[in-house]
Amino acid sequence: MRAKRNVLTYLAEKDWLIIFLWFGLSLISATLEIQRENINNYLIFKNVFFHVWRQLPLYIPYPNEYYDVNLYGPVFSLMIAPFAWLPTHIGALLWSLSGAAALFYAIRQLPVTRIQQGIIFILCSQEMMGASTWFQLNQFIAAFIILSFVYTIKGKELWAAFFIVLGTLTKFYGIVGLAFFFFSPNPWRFIGSLFLWAAVLFVLPMAISSPSYITHSYVEWIEALVHKNAKNVDASVTFQDLSAGGFIKRVFHIPWLNNLFVLVPATILFALQYIQLEFRYNSRYRLYILCSTLLFPVLFSTSSESPTYIIAVPALCIWYALQPPTRANNIYIFVSILLVSFSHSDVLTPWFRTNIAIPYAIKALPCLVMYLRICYEIYTKQFLSQSTNTILTSDRLKPVA
């Protein structure tokens, strides 16, 4: 198994291979879905801009335009605007590739070696390919969370706050970026920047609509999310709630379980990671918190679907890239990627997908195990172990200047 890890390290040095796996596979998969006219999510997104522009209700069905409903905030209309004016097929393709590019850029900014980044790209490439076929926003949300982490530890609070607020006002998942507040060398600037961007991004969509319309749309957005949550917990909807709560309810046959019985303990476990805050300038501790933060909104949200896991999978890969190349770690990541990124494909056979992966929300299992493992390793200070052949690009134990 050690030799296999060396092969992975060798492949991670090949930029051409990484570009092909990341962008080439995404391009191929997105193109195939466009040819099949399977671009409903993009049609929803495209029309968010036109609905805001025409001041039409954002959260009602438009069966003549697409099926399902929009669930993103009004500021999303500005994100999708450059694509909305393009011919639909071209816009859909560029939107999908832009999501891949955003996450690629974010991972390249992580404070780890280029080889470690390469390992992350290779291990995430299957999940990236799958996410590209859904034309969703999740790749951007993952990028926003990572960039809010990167800019916080760099002392660039204005940019960190921008990505936190933008992520929050589009899909709400971006709010988890607040977890990096304690890593900021300028906490008051961090807080001020949050208020600044909250005001700017709240008002900005009014430029293409009106103040009353945008204000009312935000009220309707909250109502739509509450309604969607109620639908997600319906056990008969097997493609929704692929979360830790959904996994527990389906495996143990307790569909009546309130999600709070999972969310509250998970939040307490997350908060307890800050008992080691004395090490907040240690790069390894920071990256462990990043991994935990990426996992949290996917694992403990009833809105989690298969393509949502492009937010969580980088956490598995970042953690692995920081570990020594042991047999146990190699087996662990192999099984994790297999169950998360391949469980909904034909690799594990259609029977496994239909009878095991989807009905029991198996995608959540490796991520839940990782979340608990990261919490344990932080509680027990295992992140301080230096028995590894990986080298961080920054491992300072003093505040950033």
- pTM of the predicted model as reported, rounded to 2 decimal places: 0.93
Distances (CA, A) of 343 to 93, 99, 127, 363: 25, 23, 11, 7
Distances (CA, A) of 397 to 18, 23, 132, 359: 32, 36, 39, 46
Structure tokens at 160: 């960190």
Which residue intervals of 71-156 are DSSP H helices? 76-84, 88-108, 114-132, 138-153
| Region label for 386, one of left (φ > 0), alpha (ψ between -120 and 50) or beta (otherwise) | alpha
The predicted pLDDT at position 97 comes to 97
pLDDT in tens, 131-157: 999 999 999 999 999 999 999 999 999
Taking the chain (401 residues) in runs of 10, the rounded mean pLDDT of each run is: 64 94 96 96 97 96 93 96 96 97 98 96 96 95 98 97 98 95 96 98 96 96 88 63 90 89 96 95 95 97 92 97 90 94 83 88 95 96 65 39 31
The predicted pLDDT at position 98 comes to 98
The predicted pLDDT at position 341 comes to 92
Give backbone dihedrals phi and psi of 392, rounded to 5 degrees, phi first: -75, 150
The predicted pLDDT at position 228 comes to 85
